[in-house]
A = this chain, B = another copy of it.
Amino acid sequence: MKYEVRFSGTGGQGIIRCAVLLAEAALYDGYYAAQSQVYGPESRGGKSQGEVVIKDTPIHYPKVTDLGILLCLSQQAYDSYAAEVIEGGMLIVDSDFVALSGKEKESVRVIGLPIIETARDMGNEMSANVVAMGTIVGLTNMVTEEAAHKALANSFRGKSLERNLKAYAEGYRLAKEMTK
């Protein structure tokens, strides 16, 4: 069992927190996980990315080497990373904010979902990262629902936790409707 995931978007979307939350959830499920991000001049242009590797055995190299799952919440992130998705991989994009180039490998599963709009409809665009987390879990089942909830409860408190549990559930629902 091995998942290599990159979350990408613009600064302020909570991309890195989303990656941290997923890594923590994996831990609750008893897996090994590594989570990392590298910041450089390109981040100053507003691009943000965070990586997660999840395995059932110890992880020696903490970075993604084969990009199996890519999430893009901005056009710029898509333009930068989409070509790296491996054969048979999965590309999840925000359907309102990313226009596909059509250059995806044929074996890559491309999924467009209104992630940001869903967060806005719930009254808080800042929750788009957690909607995205729910979507990825819904599409892949890489962690259990219980573990995802624990990770959220470990990171948020009170009303903020309530809001994020709802955002997560909405993202999860979006994914499940897609895959019905």
Q: Which size class do A's interface residues fall under? A: 20 to 34
Taking CB atoms and an 8 Å cut-off, the chain A residues in 43-67 that contact chain B are 43-44, 58-59, 62-63
A88 close to chain B: CB less than 8 A: no
The residue of chain B having its C-beta at the shortest distance from the C-beta of A37 within the complex is: B35
Indicate if the CB atoms of B26 and A39 lie closer than 8 Å: yes
- Could you mark each residue 140-161 of chain A with 1 if its beta carbon is under 8 Å from any beta carbon of chain B, else 0? 0000000000000010010000
Contacts of A136 in B (CB 8 A): none
Indicate if the CB atoms of A39 and B44 lie closer than 8 Å: no
Of the residues B11, B26, B36, B58, contact of A35 by C-beta under 8 Å: B36
- Identify 11 new A-B residue pairs, CB closer than 8 A, beyond the known A32-B40, A35-B39: A16-B35, A20-B20, A20-B37, A27-B40, A27-B43, A27-B44, A33-B39, A34-B38, A35-B37, A35-B38, A36-B62
What are 12 sample pairs from A and B whose C-beta atoms fall under 8 A apart?
A: A11-B154, A12-B154, A16-B35, A20-B37, A26-B39, A27-B44, A33-B39, A34-B38, A35-B36, A35-B38, A35-B39, A40-B59
